Every structure is written in structure tokens, then in C-alpha cells.
Amino acid sequence: MMTSKEGSSQCQVKHAVLLSPVGKLEISGCEKGIHEVKLPKLSVLPNGTEAPVCCELRGNVTSMPEPLQQCAAWLSAYFCEPSRTKQLPLPPFHHPMLLQDSFTKEVLWTLLREVKFGEAISYQQLAERAGNSRAARAVGGAMRNNPIAIIIPCHRVICSSGQIGNYGGGILMKEWLLSHEKLQKEKLSD
């Protein structure tokens, strides 16, 4: 159970697993929105023969709150038909970090709004866009604490030097996601 921002109502948290090309994504949320998207830790990069081509949702879909269904649909599109993500609604978010006013919230929302599929931004550039050019380290902290992986695309944040930087899902996951986006963007522009 999770207490909402107001403190008066409780969330009935539900869980779902989405089998994806990068492994099992664990989604949790309630009727009000998504609480978390957890990534598997990769020890090797998946290849086409090991990973499912499309996504499969595990769990009782009929009893799943709408935000979890929206999240699964959005993530499935991200992996299998990235051009569709623009037409799909983002699921509502209901993680406390995304409900309270903070620099972390501002950074995550700025990242979500401004850094599109196939693009990358440095920690420093994101700090500037979020309103504090001297807060590149704080941006790193916001990326570490991002509860909604992939949808809030912290994998698109890289070092100013061009190096890939760290990632909560591991470097292999970050490399895979950036490569996936680059390849899909190239296909779309052909």
C-alpha cells in the first residue's frame, strides 16, 4: 500500500510483467497512475534469436488498472512500433517523487517533454533546461531516482564528453536502448 499525496486515500497497487526484447519489465501502479517501471539487469546484450520480437503482457489483464494497461501498450509500441508512441497517451504517473514540487520532478518532466526518441542530451544541458545550469550532479541524482524507466527516458542523458555515462538498468541496457532508438529513427527517416 502507498499513501497518496493528500494522505487520505490508499493506493491498491497492482503489478504486471511485460516480456520485452530486453527481458522482464516489472510495472506497478494503481487506478491513479504508474508507480514504477523496473528494468531487468542485463549481463549480456540480447540478440534477435534470444529476445522476443514483440512484447507480451503477463498477468490478469482484465483486472489491471487502466494506467497499467496504457503503460504496457506504450512500452510495447516503444519496442515493436516506435512510431506509434506519439499517438498513444502516456500513462498517468502516481509516484510521490513525481507529485511533489522538487528539482528532481522538474528535471524528469523536462526530460520527458523535451528529449525525443533517438535524441540525447548531456547532464549539463538538461540542468540548464530544467532551470539550474550549475546542477549537472543533481541531474545525475534525478536520473538515478527515476521511477518510470524508458517512458521517462533517462537513458538519453549522456556525459558532456559524449561518453554514455551510468544507468540504473546497467550500461548494457543503456547501450541497447540508445542503439534501438538510433536504428528505429534511421528506419523511419528512410
Buried (b) or exposed (e) across 101-114, using 16+ Cβ within 10 A? Answer: eebbbbbbebbbee
For the chain, the C-alpha Rg in angstroms (whole number) is 16
- Provide, for the chain, the percentages of residues in helix, strand and coil under a 3-state DSSP scheme, each rounded to the nearest 5: 40, 20, 40
DSSP sequence for 6-41? TSSSEE--EEEEEEETTEEEEEEEETTEEEEEEPPP
Catalytic residue, from 30, 55, 154, 159: name it. 154
Examine the residue annotation and report whether 154 is marked as an active-site residue of this protein: yes
Look at residues 93, 128, 132, 96 and name the one whose alpha carbon lies nearest to residue 114.
128
Look at residues 144, 163, 179 and name the one whose alpha carbon lies nearest to residue 39.
144
β-bridge partners, 58: 17
Q: Which of the residues are catalytic?
A: 154
